[in-house]
Amino acid sequence: MSKTVIVIDSTADLPESLRRELDLHMVPLNVHFGTEVYKDQVDLDSKTFYQKLKASKDVMPRTSQPSPAQFVDLYKQVASPDDRILSIHISSKASGTIQSALIAKSLLPEYNIEIIDSEGLSIHYGMQAVEMAKLAQQGASVEQILEHRKRVKESIEVCFTVETLEYLHKNGRIGTANAFLGTVLSIKPILSIENGMVSGVEKVRGRKKAVKRLVEYIVDKMIDAPGQKLYLGIVQGDAEEEADGIEAELRAIFPKAESIQRFDMGPIIGSHAGPGTVGIIGYKL
């Protein structure tokens, strides 16, 4: 019997347990520290990554998209030509990962592969994949799954703050948040994702205020949800304590939320956002 298989890449920042539970198959991107190369979330986990990041101050980690061959191999391994593969990936504006996936598709003409640009990063993208997987497990059709993905994406609100914009800047992934650069005062930016790129929301003085604003931002967008189910997620990279605080606050404000999940920001997104990044995502269905 033919099945629907969902393929993701490692920038979705979904833990292995969840990927296994939801049958999500992952292609890792690569993290480079100088000449060392690691497969993201395969031979480098978040914790080790942030330790390395701190230890190797002079070497900025670099990242690279998976090769087309990695996709070819995974597609062949998880599906047969009778199956349908839905391959959803990190925003094409932030990474060439989709490019590799598309080439893999062109190399496998006998396979039934749909490539989807999530226009998201980290769990903004990850949650789209999670929702698709939930439906796939319920036996929904490809059309239903894709339709559902669209709804989820349209409903998603996301905001995050970084300890410093230096990382986003150095890696060239700063998008329209560029205007937030170059100030003398220690400004903490409130950032979001718009059209597949990082965008600036506002400038805040001080880390605590920034974290407070994140919660306000999401509460403001999510509080009005008549008859809808509310899903919240918190993602952090080396900002565990702040994420704890946010979680406690969200649980108090949204006691009826369908789920409030925690995620670790993985090495790839972490390379670009830097340590001390924390963000909140919310959507209602």
Partner 1 sequence: MADVTIIDGDTFRQMISAASSYLLDNKERVDALNVFPVPDGDTGTNMSLTFKAASDELGKINSKKVSDLAQALARGALMGARGNSGVILSQLLRGFGNETDSLESLDGAALAKCLSGAAKMAYRAVIKPVEGTILTVAREAGEAALRAAREKNDVLHVLTKFLNAARESLNNTPKLLPALRDAGVVDAGGAGYVVIWEGVFKYLTGDLKAEEKVTVDDTTVFAGVLSEESIEFHYCTEFIIQGRNVPQVDLKDYLGGIGDSLIVVGDEDMVKVHVHTNNPGLALEKALKYGQLMKIKIENMVEQNREAVASGKAAWSANTGAVEFKSTPKQEVEREVGIVTVATGEGITEILRSLGADKIVAGGQTMNPSTADILEAVENCPAKNVIILPNNKNILTTAAQVPSVTDKNVFVIESKTIPQGIKALLSYDPDISPEENVKSMSEAIKEVKTGEVTFAVRDTSMNGFQIEEKDIIGLAEGKIETVGKDVSTVVKELVKKLVDENSAILTLYFGADVSEEAANELLDELQEEYPDLELEMYNGNQPLYYYLISVE
For partner 1, the binding residues (CB under 8 A) are 30, 62, 64-65, 67-69, 72, 92, 96, 98-100, 102-103, 106-107, 170-173, 179, 181-187, 202-209, 212
- What is d(CA 181, CA 235) in angstroms, rounded to the nearest whole number? 23
- What is d(CA 213, CA 193) in angstroms, rounded to the nearest whole number? 16
| Cβ proximity to partner 1, 25 vs 207, nearer residue | 207
Report yes or no: 8 and 89 within 8 Å, Cβ to Cβ. yes
Pairing of strands 230-237, 259-264: parallel
Report yes or no: 96 and 90 within 8 Å, Cβ to Cβ. no
Minimum CB separation from partner 1 for residue 187, in Å? 7
- What is d(CA 212, CA 217) in angstroms, rounded to the nearest whole number? 9
| Cβ proximity to partner 1, 103 vs 142, nearer residue | 103
| Cβ proximity to partner 1, 128 vs 271, nearer residue | 271
- What is d(CA 66, CA 37) in angstroms, rounded to the nearest whole number? 12
Minimum CB separation from partner 1 for residue 54, in Å? 21
Q: Which residues contact 43 (CB under 8 A, 6 or more apart)?
A: none
Minimum CB separation from partner 1 for residue 194, in Å? 13
Minimum CB separation from partner 1 for residue 179, in Å? 7
| Cβ proximity to partner 1, 66 vs 233, nearer residue | 66
Report yes or no: 166 and 274 within 8 Å, Cβ to Cβ. yes
DSSP-derived secondary structure letter, 196: T
Residue 143, by phi and psi: left (phi above 0), alpha (psi -120 to 50) or beta?
A: alpha
Minimum CB separation from partner 1 for residue 83, in Å? 23
19 in helix, strand or coil?
helix
| Cβ proximity to partner 1, 44 vs 136, nearer residue | 44
Which helix (H) or strand (E) covers residue 278, if one does?
strand 277-284
Minimum CB separation from partner 1 for residue 216, in Å? 13
| Cβ proximity to partner 1, 119 vs 264, nearer residue | 119
